[in-house]
């Protein structure tokens, strides 16, 4: 990083009449400069509203479905006459609505914005990412409907059949292509760590998603090779992809929000390499009925996953250290900070599930779902909430309609995640111990879980409430933006002979970048 090119810092360029100072990063260790032209932010406005709006809707759908599925544990007869709403369809639908409905489009939106910011390059040809975002959400709708009518592929986290997977694959390709074009046109050639993570993530998904769909759905391989590929895919999506995007965002926002440089570049490079090298192997559960080298290799890689985990913890701790108390009132900082804590904890849970001594307590129990929920909700979704709360007002040009609800959302999500994950993890260990003792009747292992499941249902309820607040803020902001456009349009129609109205549509309070 030392021999960075001389950037064109003196050069003046203009976008839409505004003069732009093409500042370069003072140092790649320093937080990226905030002095970026409003126009770069505005160039992403419509694609990001399309991505985040749909994502917020799917998030609410996901937690509502998850809550309905969870109620079935307390009342197996609940909605039992409806084939669409049987547990085995509701739960995968809730999971996929969270992963494909919220996590991926929100992550793509945040990646798109971060890359425009870090590249100091506006998004051009916005119509393609807008179309891709809508195609994505259409694919999710088709995929979820397919699960409800019993058309799921039967592979965990890959349930969408062709009608859903093909649209989201191409939508992803288009969005990734546009993000890569921004990246290629960057004004600062040297890369900030976030860019390593985000570019890698852009590349990761098409490879794993096409492999999984090809070998499992289009031309299925025979026997348990299916299961191995399914686990490899799920791990690379749930652990690696979310990790790359979430860490990429955190490595931008933590320095940005604390005003302290990322500590340090070399640690980040080490974390990046070890993370992609080890986490990509960690998906195969121990004891799987496959040739024994497969789970053994996977367990070894999972234990090595401790290395990037600790390095990321050190980076995060050294970056925010000393500024936590003063930033505790900052909404986005709370979300991203909690996300980093969850990343660390869910990583430890992942390693625990590969430790030979602990396998009996975690295998086939609720410990696994607890780990996944902590990763998807506690780490990834929380980091994305923080990013969206930070960037969306800047991108659209208006404040959120209900800024006070941001903090309510944070506390609801925090308590929701805690009430969801802690009982499931503890109950999972108890369930595992009971499963290991053949003298305990199986029905008793299920019964022993009920109090824990009751608490986790409460957690899901809190998450649903929090997600509704997020939805209200994103939709309110979108509505505000649409009204402003409408007003502009009316003003334009009423006074055709006067000067043309401003193009940026900043009728509302301008938000300083």
Partner 1 sequence: MSSGFRVFLAALVALGGSWCGFVLAPVSQLGGGKQTVVLNSTELYPVDRPGLANQGLQVYRANGCAACHTEQVQQNGVACDVALTDAGKNPTATTNLISSLKLNNLDKEAADALLDKIAAAGGKAEIHIVATGPDIARGWGRRHSVAEDFLYDDPVQLGSLRIGPDLADVGTRQPDANWQLVHLYAPQSVVKDSAMPPFRYLFRVGKTGSAPSPEALVFPKGYGPPAGYEVVPKPQAQALAAYLMSLHAEVPLHDAPFSQLVAVPKP
Stretch that binds partner 1, among 13-21, 199-207, 311-319, 387-395 (CB under 8 A): 199-207
CB of 454 to partner 1, least distance (A): 13
Q: Which one among 7, 33, 87, 128 touches partner 1, defined by CB under 8 A?
A: 87
Q: Which one among 8, 27, 326, 436 touches partner 1, defined by CB under 8 A?
A: 436
Asked if 194 touches partner 1 (CB under 8 A), the answer is: no
- Long-range contacts made by residues 157-161, C-beta under 8 angstroms, separation at least 24? 157/95, 157/96, 157/99, 157/230, 157/233, 157/234, 157/237, 157/238, 158/212, 158/213, 158/216, 158/217, 158/230, 158/233, 158/234, 159/92, 159/93, 159/96, 160/96, 160/100, 161/217
For the segment 342-371, give every residue that binds partner 1 (CB under 8 A).
363-366, 368-369
Q: Which one among 27, 88, 328, 483 touches partner 1, defined by CB under 8 A?
A: 88
Q: Which one among 100, 113, 231, 452 touches partner 1, defined by CB under 8 A?
A: 231
Please give, one letter per residue, the 3-state secondary structure of 274-313: HHHHHHHHCCCCCCCCCCCHHHHHHHHHHHHCHHHHHHHH
> In terms of Cα–Cα distance, which of 123, 385, 49, 376 is closest to 249?
385
Asked if 464 touches partner 1 (CB under 8 A), the answer is: no
For the segment 141-180, give every residue that binds partner 1 (CB under 8 A).
150-156
> In terms of Cα–Cα distance, which of 374, 272, 375, 257 is closest to 315?
272
Q: Which two tokens stand for residue 209?
A: 């998603």
Nearer to partner 1, 307 or 435 (CB): 435
Binding mask 406-435 for partner 1 (x = CB under 8 A): -------------------------x---x
Q: Which one among 223, 259, 322, 403 touches partner 1, defined by CB under 8 A?
A: 223
Nearer to partner 1, 64 or 224 (CB): 224
Q: What is the DSSP letter of 505?
A: -
Stretch that binds partner 1, among 14-22, 204-212, 337-345, 386-394 (CB under 8 A): 204-212
Q: Which one among 102, 178, 183, 390 touches partner 1, defined by CB under 8 A?
A: 183
* Interatomic CA distance for residues 60 and 48, integer angstroms: 18
Nearer to partner 1, 225 or 472 (CB): 225
* Interatomic CA distance for residues 300 and 296, integer angstroms: 6
Asked if 260 touches partner 1 (CB under 8 A), the answer is: no
Q: How many CA atoms does the CB half-sphere of 116 hold within 13 Å?
A: 25
Please tell me the count of residues contacting partner 1 according to CB under 8 A. Answer: 89
First vs last C-alpha separation in the chain: 27
CB of 136 to partner 1, least distance (A): 22
């Amino acid at each position: 990083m030392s021999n960075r090119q001389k950037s064109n810092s003196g050069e003046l360029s203009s976008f839409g009449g505004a003069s732009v100072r093409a500042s370069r990063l003072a140092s790649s260790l320093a937080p990226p400069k905030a002095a970026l032209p409003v126009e770069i932010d505005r160039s992403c406005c419509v694609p990001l509203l399309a991505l985040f709006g749909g994502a917020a809707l799917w998030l609410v759908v996901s937690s509502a479905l998850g809550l309905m599925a969870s109620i079935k544990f307390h009342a197996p007869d609940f909605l039992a006459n409806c084939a669409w709403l049987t547990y085995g369809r509701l739960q995968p639908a809730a999971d996929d609505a969270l992963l494909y409905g919220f996590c991926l489009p929100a992550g793509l939106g945040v990646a798109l914005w971060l890359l425009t910011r870090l590249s100091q390059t506006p998004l051009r040809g916005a119509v393609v990412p807008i179309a891709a975002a809508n195609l994505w959400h259409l694919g999710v709708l088709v995929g979820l409907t397919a699960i409800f009518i019993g058309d799921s592929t039967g592979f965990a986290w890959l349930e969408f059949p062709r009608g859903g997977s093909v649209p989201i694959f191409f939508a992803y390709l288009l969005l990734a292509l546009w993000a890569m074009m921004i990246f290629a046109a960057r004004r600062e050639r040297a890369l900030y760590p976030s860019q390593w993570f985000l570019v890698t993530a852009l590349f990761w998904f098409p490879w794993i998603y096409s492999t999984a769909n090809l070998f499992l759905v289009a031309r299925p391989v025979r026997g348990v090779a299916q299961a191995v590929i399914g686990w490899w895919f799920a791990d690379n999506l749930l652990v690696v992809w979310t990790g790359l995007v979430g860490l990429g965002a955190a490595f931008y926002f933590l320095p940005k929000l604390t005003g302290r440089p990322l500590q340090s570049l070399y640690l980040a490079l080490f974390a990046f390499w070890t993370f992609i090298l080890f986490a990509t192997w960690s998906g195969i559960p121990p004891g799987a009925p496959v040739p024994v080298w497969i789970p053994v290799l996977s367990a070894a890689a999972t234990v090595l996953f401790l290395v990037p985990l600790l390095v990321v913890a050190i980076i995060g701790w050294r970056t925010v250290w000393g500024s936590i108390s003063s930033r505790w009132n900052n909404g986005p900082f709370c979300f991203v900070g909690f996300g980093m804590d969850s990343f660390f904890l869910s990583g430890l849970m992942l390693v625990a599930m590969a430790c030979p001594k602990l396998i009996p307590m975690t295998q086939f129990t609720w410990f696994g779902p607890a780990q996944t929920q902590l990763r998807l909700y506690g780490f990834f979704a929380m980091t994305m909430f923080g990013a969206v709360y930070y960037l969306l007002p800047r991108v659209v040009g208006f404040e959120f309609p209900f800024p006070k609800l941001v903090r309510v959302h944070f506390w609801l999500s925090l308590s929701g995640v805690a009430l969801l994950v802690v009982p499931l993890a503890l109950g999972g260990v108890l369930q595992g111990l009971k499963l290991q003792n053949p003298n305990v009747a199986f029905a008793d292992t299920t019964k022993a879980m009920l109090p824990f499941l009751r608490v986790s249902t409460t957690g899901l309820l809190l998450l649903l409430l929090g997600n509704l607040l997020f939805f209200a803020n994103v939709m309110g902001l979108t509505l505000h933006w649409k009204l402003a456009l409408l007003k502009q349009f009316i003003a334009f129609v009423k006074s055709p002979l006067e000067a043309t109205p401003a193009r940026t549509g900043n009728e509302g309070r301008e938000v300083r970048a």
